[in-house]
Amino acid sequence: MNGSSRRLLLASTSPYRRELLSRLRLPFQCVPPRVDETPSSGEAPAALASRLAGEKAAEVHAREPDAFVIGSDQVADLEGRVLGKPGNFESAVAQLRAMSGREVAFHTALCVIGPGFRESAVDTTVVRMRDLGNDEIARYLQAEPAFDCAGSFKAEGLGIGLFEAIDSRDPTALVGLPLIATARLLRNGGFALP
């Protein structure tokens, strides 16, 4: 079976990951993974991202064993503390206040599982946040309510203005799916990509 005839599934409901994967111009479908995303006690942020990416891919692959499945997860890491999706304005304000003037690592993990194939990767992007005032935080969140994003900002949008610098090997990783690693793993699995 060649790469062009393999079914590709994205184990995600994220519109950000769907948009990113579409850039590779491979046909794919999104399948919601049924995975408990609760961190284990004492689990490091990068380990959490890796475990969840693998569990998402494995859970969907168990239902669709003939397909190649991409699982991905991103965990924001503020000095070893996991920052999840804020979910509301108050939590987002608290996250941005905590990150103000500090470095935050974003671990974006990836796992591709297919028939007789499993490979994983993790990309870590470090964001240096500017010193943010309370009014500036409130204005940003009113203009771009990033309540479904770990770290409470959208780097692909207005949130980029909150940064002092980004240290990354792959600019797509911060948005939610490291396309450089994704393309590499898919090529390793037999997909025809540039």
Which residues are known catalytic residues? 73
Contact (CB, 8 A) for 72 and 110: yes
How far is 127 from 46, CA to CA, in rounded Å?
A: 15
The number of C-alpha atoms within 13 Å of 170 and in the hemisphere containing its C-beta is: 22
Strands (DSSP E) contained in the chain are 8-11, 29-30, 68-78, 81-83, 103-114, 117-129, 163-167
Strand 8-11, strand 29-30: pairing:
parallel
Contact (CB, 8 A) for 158 and 140: yes
Q: At 73, list the tokens.
A: 């997860």
Report helix, strand and coil shares of the chain as percent, to nearest 5. Answer: 35, 25, 40
How far is 194 from 184, CA to CA, in rounded Å?
A: 10
